[in-house]
Amino acid sequence: MRRFWKGMNKVLDWIVILFCIFCVLVCMYALVDSALVYEQASGSNLLNYKPTLFKTDSGGGSENRTLGVAWLTVDDTNIDYPIMQGVTNEEYLNKDPEGKYSLAGSLFLDSRNKADFTDPYSLIYGHHMAQKKMFGALDDFKDMDFLKSHTHGTLIVGQKVYDITLFAEMDTTADVSLIFQPNEGAGGQEAAEAAGAQGQSGAAGSEGRPGAAGSESSSGTAEGQNASGAAKTSDSEGAAGSEVLQYVKEHADNLLDSIPEGNLLGLSTCVDTDTKDRTLVFGILTDSGKSLADLQAEMQSETETEEAPSYVTPIERVFTDKKKGIRWSVLFIIIAFVIGFVIAHAKRKKRTAR
């Protein structure tokens, strides 16, 4: 019987040791997995695709290395990412700009918006990541002083460069259709009616043509109706943009006094995965007057004058990053506990053998 309990004691010791080793492995996996997620969210692996970081070819155009429909940069923040656009708004929730699965997903333009950002109101979505990655950086704009000192950004769309003037931060919910259904609010309905009228006029103009004079008359009428329908669509879209801007002015938590004229841009992120609460930052898009080639030349000039950044070792990064330091400290404690347990167990066995 004594031999049985001795054997059970050994089995129990090994179970405890294996459990501790298992815990260490789980912690290590969690740390590596978390590091990879935030590495993806940082966008550092995507900077090679940033239009300003590679030269134009001899023909004056950019090399074909861009991702998505645009590139968004908000000065002095972590927001420096390509903007994707899917067939639906779910496509890039868990897919990175290179098409790979990623929990961090991508920043993406609402599927109902035009990819060239010529809509009076365009909306970009992004995950709320920790460490101010992706649109987690929007939390800083809840501070009015931060908003006042961070009003500028850049949007590169093809060869066109837009300046972004940020002017408002607003907390709201996802069921505010005026904000979260671009081109499908009241203005969107008017645009649909105008498009329907335009289609009807085209159909009427393509029916029987009794003669040359009749054909010209019919064609002229159709062209006039088409032009009228297009004007109505443009006016309704502009009205929808104005409605959103007015709503922002009335409901913003932080609002600057000076708002330039231009197309409205919204940046949206969720506050928490289990709620409909959303944080948005709004800006105005204006033509910068620069081409992509001009911006590339400026960036190259600045790069040449800047000093090369000093190399920071991984160990230095661990102890200068507070959150990473805490995680690694926990891991070291667990490892030390396991080593200490194994040593103590070995000593106990030695004493028992004597």
pLDDT in tens, 331-349: 667 777 777 777 766 666 6
What is the rounded average pLDDT for all residues in the chain? 73
* Phi, psi dihedral angles at 83 (to 5 degrees): -110, 120
Give the CA dihedral 203, 240, 107, 42, nearest 10 degrees: 160
Give the Cα separation of 181 and 110 in Å (integer).
Answer: 9
Write out pLDDT tens, residues 156-175: 998 899 999 999 999 999 99
Give the Cα separation of 54 and 332 in Å (integer).
Answer: 42
Residue 58 pLDDT level (bands cut at 50, 70, 90): very low
Beta bridge partners of 280: 170, 268
Residues 6+ apart with CB under 8 A from 272: 128
Write out pLDDT tens, residues 96-106: 888 888 888 89
pLDDT value at position 294?
79
Residue 83 pLDDT level (bands cut at 50, 70, 90): very high
Smallest Cα–Cα separation from 153: which of 98, 71, 91?
71
Give the highest mean pLDDT range of 187-196, 230-239, 274-283, 296-305: 274-283
pLDDT value at position 337?
72
Contact status, residue 116 vs residue 90, Cβ threshold 8 Å: no
Give the Cα separation of 163 and 328 in Å (integer).
Answer: 41
Give the Cα separation of 321 and 258 in Å (integer).
Answer: 37
The residue with greater pLDDT, 250 or 326, is 250
Q: What is the mean pLDDT of residues 226-233?
A: 46
DSSP class of residue 131?
G
